[in-house]
Each structure stands twice: as C-alpha cells, then as structure tokens.
Amino acid sequence: MSVSGRIEKALEAAFTRVGTSDSPPRLAAGMRHAVFPGGARIRPRLTLAVAAACGEDEPALVDFAGAAIELMHCASLVHDDLPCFDDADLRRGRPSVHKCFDERTAVLAGDALIVLAFQILALGSTQPQRLGALVTILARAVGGPAGIVAGQAWECEDAPDVGLYHRQKTGALFAGASMIGAAACGAQHDAWRQLGETLGEAYQAADDIGDAESSVEALGKPVGRDLAFGRPSIVAQFGLAGALQRFDRLVEEAIASIPSCPGVNDLQTLIITESRRLLPKQHWQRAA
C-alpha cells in the first residue's frame, strides 16, 4: 500500500475502531470534518519515512503513531481557527469547523481529537513496552511546556520569545513526528529529534513564504495573516530572497542530521523530493 494509503487507512481506523455509536452527531461530524479530506499529511509522512529508514517491524503501530501525530495537527488547526484566535472562515478550501458547525462544537472536536490521538497509540500497541515512549513523545510535542499548544500560547504574550515561538508552534510536532517513527520501531528516538526540528523550521520558512506571496485559491486558507497579526515571520525578518536561502540551508542541515540507520540513502532522497513541494509552485524550479 502507498504511504498516503496507509495514512488515510489508519486515520479511518482511528474513528471506526474507537467507535461513534453513542456520540452526539454534530461532534462526530465536526471531528471528521477536521480530519477528512486532509491536507498534505506531511507530518505522518515524516513518521512513516523515519520508520522505514529504521527498518520498521510493526507497520500497524507505525501507522497509528503517524495518525496520532496528524490528529494532533488537525486538532490544533480547529482551535487555531477559532474566533478568539485567527477567526478563520476557511481551512483547506472549505469552511473551518466553527463556521461549518458552531464554536462550541469546534472547541469540543479539538479536545476529542487530542484524546483520540493518545487512545489510538494504546489501541495499536502490539508492543506494550514501546507505549510509554510513544505517549511521552506525543505529549511533549503537543503539551504546555514546549509543544504546539505552548507555541500557540506565545501569541497571547505581550513580549513573545520568537525563537521559542517557532520551535514550539511548528518544530515541536515535526520533532515528535520524526521521533515517534523511530520509537514505534523500538529504535532509540532522541537521535531523531534534530531531523524533525530542522524540517519543522524549513516548513515554517516555506509557510511564511507562501503566506507572504500566495493567493487564497492556492492555499485554501486566508493569506497575509502573519503580517496582519504582527506575528513573527522570516519573510518580514529577512525578505523573500533571504527566506528562500534560509529554506535551502535548513533542508541541507536536515539531511546532514539523519542518524545512522538502515535506510539512510532512501530517506535523504525522499527529503529532497518532498521539501521541494513545500514551496509555492513558482519556486520549484529553483529548488530543483
């Protein structure tokens, strides 16, 4: 099965195996709306790529680990889009959850997706001795001290720490996606943090570039919002050319950081190919 196929199947299985028979219908629909159809699924793709490089022995567990990361990403989008944050009407070219349903359903759907992410780690755990690492990695990637929730919370501070803001808002879940791929294989996972963090920075750079120059139609979400909200952006900091240079350097650093593993060559190739697709189309030629 293709990587995309594995990820979609695991996300579907998360819903069907946990069940929805007693669920309030709006909540169940709001949760699915947040997850399907998805975006590029770039974080779980990283999880599966790292697991493949580590020589995965439990593909079902890897798939649920990737799905858990994606569910957390979807939950964060639902809450980030709320009226009290971005007040975004559009997400992935469709109405955001609070626009399609209501604000209360959006708050609860986000909550329930966070819970579901942890639940499927336990559900997929054919290797009980790996579960502790999986839960810990996921929690650190998302939680209050230094995960994506903390990253978003810097937007509530009068004097945000810009470095921590970027590392936490984007880097933390990429680091988690990378590390959980190794942990799902029983491999030492700390060595994989750097790859995820660096790819997270590259992704953020690409996102800032996209936000600064793309159109609503191409992104499927409102653009120019970083500048409108006075958020730290590397385009504002270094200009467009500087941001593109920085993106290239980060991809090189990511590749150099890959720990010794059976599938190192394939993973290097994959990162080059996939990173190119992060940029707006007009820059693909240059990145190639």
Site of interaction with a copy of itself (CB under 8 A): 18-28, 31, 75, 79, 82, 84-85, 101-105, 107-116, 118-119, 121-123, 125, 128-129, 131-132, 135-136, 138-140, 142-147, 149-150, 152-157, 160-161, 164, 168
Q: Which is nearer to a copy of itself, 134 or 195 (CB)?
A: 134
Q: Which is nearer to a copy of itself, 107 or 272 (CB)?
A: 107
Least gap, CB of 28 to a copy of itself (angstroms): 7
Q: Which is nearer to a copy of itself, 174 or 247 (CB)?
A: 174
Least gap, CB of 125 to a copy of itself (angstroms): 6
Strands (DSSP E) contained in 130-190 are none
Q: Which is nearer to a copy of itself, 140 or 276 (CB)?
A: 140
**Cα–Cα distance list, 268 to 151, 221, 251, 253, 273 (Å):** 28, 31, 10, 11, 9
Least gap, CB of 25 to a copy of itself (angstroms): 7
Q: How far apart are CA 1 and CA 10, in angstroms?
A: 12
Q: How far apart are CA 106 and CA 125, in angstroms?
A: 29
Least gap, CB of 123 to a copy of itself (angstroms): 7
* Residue recorded with tokens 């650190």: 140
Least gap, CB of 86 to a copy of itself (angstroms): 10
Closest alpha carbon to 124 in 138, 140, 106, 145:
138
Q: Which is nearer to a copy of itself, 168 or 204 (CB)?
A: 168
Token pair of 99, please? 């626009």
Please answer whether residues 114 and 72 qualify as being in contact, where contact means their C-beta atoms are separated by less than 8 angstroms. Answer: yes
Radius of gyration of the chain (CA): 18
Q: How far apart are CA 269 and CA 259, in angstroms?
A: 15
Q: What is the DSSP code (8-state) at residue 95?
A: E
Please list the residues that pair with 91 across neighbouring strands. Answer: 94
Q: Which is nearer to a copy of itself, 56 or 81 (CB)?
A: 81
Least gap, CB of 98 to a copy of itself (angstroms): 9
